[in-house]
Amino acid sequence: MRLQGAIFVLLPHLGPILVWLFTRNQMSGWCEDPRMLSWCPLHKVLLLVQTIIYSVVGYASYLVWKDLRGGLGWSLALPLGLYALQLTISWTVLVLFFIVHNPGLALLHLLLLYGLVVSTALIWHPINKLAALLLLPYLAWLTVTAALTYHLWRDSLCPVHQPLPTEKSN
């Protein structure tokens, strides 16, 4: 893999690194709330999976770029333009979730992102089948992430789902 390949693999990590710089002191308590879902992954697992997924998707984008003969031509506009849009939305989800603390808005962006990833896979498939297939783990991860975000949003907006305070009797 050439230098360009390394750039494509590292580029998706730019957004999460910037978000981490702003939220690194707030992330240690991830999923430690007693009301948290039993299937919520540990913070370190989330980081590991996200790092692997972003690296794989970055490599897939490199395969598409390479198969379209690199450079900056019109043939790259749709396949890599969709990818750039999906990266932007993905980074926006991180900002909405970890900085703005708005899981409802993050969920809407996750649903948009899901559609963009499916669209990207469909556009990439005729160009490079492996690149399109490498997006499937990302879709699986987005499904888990959307489910988690939905439950966090639902529990924060619906007091019925939150435990009622109990009074201790003497």
What is the DSSP secondary-structure string of the chain?
--HHHHHHHHGGGHHHHHHHHHHTTT-TTTT-STTS-TTPPPHHHHHHHHHHHHHHHHHHHHHHHHHTTSSS-GGGHHHHHHHHHHHHHHHHHHIIIIIS--HHHHHHHHHHHHHHHHHHHHHHTTT-HHHHHTTHHHHHHHHHHHHHHHHHHHHHH-GGGSPPP-PPP-
When comparing pLDDT for 169 and 17, which is higher?
17
When comparing pLDDT for 97 and 132, which is higher?
132
Predicted TM-score (pTM) of this structure: 0.78
Q: What is the pLDDT of residue 165?
A: 56
> Rounded mean pLDDT of the chain?
80
Per cent of the chain over pLDDT 90 is: 34
Average pLDDT over residues 119-144: 95
For the cut 50, the answer to whether the pLDDT of residue 161 exceeds it is: no
Q: What is the pLDDT of residue 80?
A: 87
Q: What is the pLDDT of residue 160?
A: 39
For the cut 90, the answer to whether the pLDDT of residue 136 exceeds it is: yes
When comparing pLDDT for 29 and 144, which is higher?
144
Q: What is the pLDDT of residues 27-71, one digit of tens each?
A: 545 445 545 566 666 667 777 888 899 999 999 999 988 888 776
For the cut 60, the answer to whether the pLDDT of residue 75 exceeds it is: yes
For the cut 90, the answer to whether the pLDDT of residue 107 exceeds it is: yes
Contact partners, residue 6, CB within 8 Å, separation at least 6: none
Q: What is the pLDDT of residue 34?
A: 47
Q: What is the pLDDT of residue 26?
A: 61
Q: What domains appear along the chain, each with residue ranges and CATH number?
A: 3-23+40-157 (1.20.1260.100)
For the cut 90, the answer to whether the pLDDT of residue 11 exceeds it is: no
